[in-house]
Amino acid sequence: MSSRPLTPTTHAIEVEKPKGFTFRPTQFTFLQLSTDGGMDARPMSLATSPTRPHLEYAVRLSDSAYKRAFAALQSGDEVGVFGPIGDFVLHETRPAVLVAGGIGITPFKGMAEYAADNELPIPIRLAYSNRIEDEIVYREELGALEGRNDRFRVLYTLTRTANKEWPGPTGRIDRDLLKEAARGLEDPIFYVSGTPGMVAGTFRLLRSVGVPEAEIEFEAFRGYE
């Protein structure tokens, strides 16, 4: 087990893979921790690819007993991993547009690693929204993946930045950014991950630009506003 802060408000842990544990890119598990209030298990997306040796999780910190326990984990501590669960999984033969808000990046980091490690021939575009530059989760890792896989590209937008030098778009993910992300892709699947509000808003936006419901997959992080 190892533990590290990612941004001022997010934190990641790396966990030893239980013997025989396999998963698809990128399902979730229940992650059980010992907290001040007793044992507590929450659904948590796996934040890394099955091609990697460890499991990884990342959370947005809060003052809940669960998040305090998460942030305090130290090398040697034990956690419970129950799963894998879910169908939010990369289709390996279809172009992909990934749409993430904040900590919703976790399953997409796993998908992007998987595509790079297996040299998948599909284009993958990630439209990724955060409040400010310092809160972009996994920015370095995503940059390294873009360097390794020229079919993978990230389009960032910032919703609360005051930095006039920011070269990218600002504001929420909108039609223009989605159009840019999907430009030139033939028959892409759209994957959406984030808070329930972000997922519902993006789903409506995609439907309003004519994306059929069957081409939209989503993971809503219940427990966030």
Ligand X SMILES: Cc1cc2nc3c(=O)[nH]c(=O)nc-3n(C[C@H](O)[C@H](O)[C@H](O)COP(=O)(O)OP(=O)(O)OC[C@H]3O[C@@H](n4cnc5c(N)ncnc54)[C@H](O)[C@@H]3O)c2cc1C
C-beta of 129 vs 182, nearer to ligand X: 129
How far apart (Å, rounded) are the C-alpha atoms in residues 67 and 164?
A: 34
Q: Strand pairing of 38-45 and 28-35?
A: antiparallel
C-beta of 45 vs 49, nearer to ligand X: 45
Residues of the shown chain interacting with ligand X in the complex, contacts defined by CB under 6 A: 28, 42-45, 58-60, 62, 64, 66-67, 103, 106, 219, 221-224
C-beta of 123 vs 221, nearer to ligand X: 221
| Closest distance of CB 45 from ligand X, Å | 4
2-7, strands of its sheet edge to edge? 2-7, 10-16, 54-60
Asked if 56 contacts 185 with a C-beta cutoff of 8 angstroms, the reply is: no
CA proximity to 137, closest of 4, 27, 32: 4
| Closest distance of CB 77 from ligand X, Å | 18
| Closest distance of CB 154 from ligand X, Å | 18
C-beta of 67 vs 151, nearer to ligand X: 67
| Closest distance of CB 43 from ligand X, Å | 4
Q: Is 43 exposed, middle or buried (0-12, 13-18, 19+ CB in 10 A)?
A: middle
C-beta of 113 vs 219, nearer to ligand X: 219
Residue, CB closest to ligand X: 223
| Closest distance of CB 210 from ligand X, Å | 27
Alpha helices in 19-167 (DSSP H): 65-72, 106-117, 139-148
